[in-house]
Amino acid sequence: MVRFLIGFLAILVLYVPCVAYQVQPSRSVLRKAQASNTAGIFSGQSVSVKLRKRFEKYAKQSGRVSKKMAYFGELGVGSPAQAFSVVFDTGSGNLIVPGSSCESPACRIHSRFNASESSTFRHVMCDGSEIPANAKPDRIRITFGTGYVVGDCFSDQICLGGACSEGMFIASVDESSQPFDSFSFDGILGLSLASLAQSNEFSMIHRMSAKHGMRQPIFSVFLSESDDEESEVTFGAVRRDHMDGELFWVDVVGDSGYWEVQIEDIAIDNKRLGICKDCKVAVDTGTSQLAGPTDLIEKMEDLLGVNYDCSNFHLLPKLGFIVDGRVMNLLPSDYVDQGAGHSCDLSLMSLDVPPPKGPLFVFGIPFLQRFFSVYDSVNSRVGFAVAKHKATASGLLAIAQDIASSHEGNVPPRLPITSDTTRLHLS
């Protein structure tokens, strides 16, 4: 999978000379992008990019093997466009692809950007500024939770379908084997708010909003776990056919750069638990699970009581998050990871972010498969609607004022846990 949390990263810029580029054959280019490489971004249109999903197996500390999921699509970089598969990641801000000078094992198994094959590329400083006279370009190191990328900074044409714009990106010269050599995709396209990018010129979201070239300065995400439905990210429009009901908007809170909204509480079977006051949640397409503070995750594990052998799966309740007066419910099939051999684990992991930025939850792929999401950077808000699947479940959205509180004597019963059940503790 993409990462446990790829968007939550630390950045260090190193001032060292850049190296020469080696010519490397590229994959087949994007046909539409080749035909319109000089076009302005979107030019009043909307663009949808189809997403593919892939499962990656990983071993937990308990010794059990589970799976993570990633969704990725294709974009083009350069003139003519060189094609890359990337995760469309709302939890980070930059476009990162392997560079042709990168000889790390993780780079060699993926497509690499060849600057010598593009007629429009140029070096830039990694803060987005031009390279001063008689100076050498700098280099950036990005440290993830389980690895790192070292890269050079370029400006070139970046194309989604037939829509292109000039933008800045990072071409890696070194990538750690973990986790990058296990990825099926080449890189990451950051779709967070612009403050998480190296500068506005590195931010796809800023370019979409500032140039006012789209039909609407928004993008939306539809994820399906079924092979019978196509997942996609749409820039410039909201695909109403992906919604089962009305869209409601929630303001982004804080200035972290993540798409964060407020959580009022957590509910089980529409019963308020009273355990999450003033919590926030980051909506993150690049995270494979749900995440939250350790103490709350442990409380939720105890209350949900998922048996490792799946023997009580049919008894498990809905898990709800109260946002803007609405309970957004997940089904057991959403928050339980069913592995091989009829094993079950909660698709929850611990993430401890101290105040004032925390406590913080992350709505990852399990949530985004159930709820269609829309991102509006101009008005700093996120929209949600129940995702319309071929087999859409009922009771996924409730009005918070209509649900009971656990403080009124309606505490959900703790489900029995068999003796072989252990809690998830992911690093």
In order of 63, 191, 195, 241, 414, the CA distances from 154 in angstroms are: 42, 18, 19, 38, 55
What is the location of CATH 2.40.70.10 in the chain?
10-221, 239-408
- For residue 205, the SS3 value is helix
Give the single-character DSSP code of 27: -
Provide the pLDDT for residue 57: 54
Among 156, 284, 334, 345, the active-site one is 284
Please report, as a single letter, which amino acid is at residue 386: V
Tell me what the mean pLDDT of segment 32-55 comes to: 66
Provide the pLDDT for residue 259: 97
Pairing of strands 271-272, 404-405: parallel
In contact, 373 and 320? CB cutoff 8 Å: no
Q: What is the pTM of this model?
A: 0.84
Task: Please check the confidence at residue 225 and state whether its pLDDT lies above 50.
Answer: yes
pLDDT tens profile 369-418? 999 999 999 999 999 999 999 887 788 988 876 565 554 444 444 433 33
92: nearest Cα among 145, 56, 50, 129: 145
Distance (Å, rounded) from C-alpha 90 to C-alpha 106? 23
43: left (phi over 0), alpha (psi -120 to 50) or beta: left
Q: Residue 136 CB: number of other CB atoms within 10 A?
A: 13
159: nearest Cα among 220, 75, 247, 278: 75
pLDDT tens profile 68-100? 788 999 999 999 999 999 999 999 999 999 999
CATH number of this structure's domain 10-221: 2.40.70.10
Distance (Å, rounded) from C-alpha 5 to C-alpha 24? 31
293: Cβ contacts below 8 Å, ≥ 6 apart: 279, 350, 351, 352, 353, 358, 359, 360, 361
In order of 77, 102, 122, 140, 407, the CA distances from 117 in angstroms are: 11, 16, 12, 23, 65
Distance (Å, rounded) from C-alpha 110 to C-alpha 203? 23
Homologous superfamily assigned to 239-408: Acid Proteases (2.40.70.10)
Q: Which two tokens stand for residue 126?
A: 């990694």
Tell me what the mean pLDDT of segment 134-140 comes to: 92
pLDDT tens profile 259-306? 999 999 999 999 999 998 778 999 999 998 899 999 999 999 999 999
Element at 302 (helix H, strand E): helix 294-304
Please report, as a single letter, which amino acid is at residue 318: K
Q: With cut-offs at 50, 70 and 90, classify the pLDDT of residue 14.
A: very low
In order of 68, 175, 286, 291, the CA distances from 178 in angstroms are: 15, 8, 16, 21
Q: With cut-offs at 50, 70 and 90, classify the pLDDT of residue 254.
A: confident
Give the single-character DSSP code of 401: G
Asked about 89 being catalytic, the answer comes back as: yes
Q: Which two tokens stand for residue 269?
A: 């079977």
Task: Please check the confidence at residue 19 and state whether its pLDDT lies above 60.
Answer: no
Task: Please check the confidence at residue 30 and state whether its pLDDT lies above 60.
Answer: no
Asked about 324 being catalytic, the answer comes back as: no
Backbone φ, ψ for residue 31 (5° rounding) = -60, -45
Q: With cut-offs at 50, 70 and 90, classify the pLDDT of residue 211.
A: low
Among 89, 152, 265, 337, the active-site one is 89
Distance (Å, rounded) from C-alpha 415 to C-alpha 305? 5
Distance (Å, rounded) from C-alpha 271 to C-alpha 319? 10
Distance (Å, rounded) from C-alpha 174 to C-alpha 7? 19
Task: Please check the confidence at residue 222 and state whether its pLDDT lies above 60.
Answer: yes
Q: Which of 27-41, 130-144, 242-256 has the lowest mean pLDDT?
A: 27-41
Q: What value does the mean pLDDT of the chain take?
A: 81
Pairing of strands 290-292, 348-350: parallel
Q: With cut-offs at 50, 70 and 90, classify the pLDDT of residue 356.
A: confident
CA 333 to chain centre: 20
Tell me what the mean pLDDT of segment 40-64 comes to: 67
In contact, 362 and 349? CB cutoff 8 Å: no
In contact, 194 and 205? CB cutoff 8 Å: yes
224: nearest Cα among 242, 198, 240, 251: 242
